[in-house]
Amino acid sequence: TPADGNPKAQAALGISPREKDVLDLLAAGFSNKEIARELGVSPNTVKTHVARLLEKLEADRRTQAILKARELGLVR
């Protein structure tokens, strides 16, 4: 698994830097409220980022998105 977060896969999937931040925190087990607090955004903004990540990773739920992101080397 690349330690750099696999920028090629990130670009191919169209994952923005902010979405990557959200993905990293999701993988670390943070809730939407915790992510919002950590990034200084509203919980609704986090929900939007999560929804876009689910689409881009072709996942139905957060756990599937995290698993696929790990398989692609996007997160540890």
Q: pLDDT tens digits for 34-56?
A: 999 999 999 999 999 999 999 99
49-to-2, 21, 37, 52, 62 alpha-carbon distances in Å: 23, 10, 14, 5, 12
Confidence at residue 76, expressed as pLDDT on a 0 to 100 scale: 85
Token reading at 42: 């509203």
Tell whether the model's pLDDT for residue 2 goes beyond 90.
no
State the pLDDT confidence band at 29, using cuts at 50, 70 and 90: very high
pLDDT single digits (tens) 57-73: 999 999 999 999 999 99
Task: State the amino acid at position 36 in one-letter form.
Answer: A
Report field, pTM of the whole predicted structure over 0.85? yes
Rounded CA-CA distance 50/67 in Å is 14
Rounded CA-CA distance 42/58 in Å is 24
State the pLDDT confidence band at 1, using cuts at 50, 70 and 90: very low
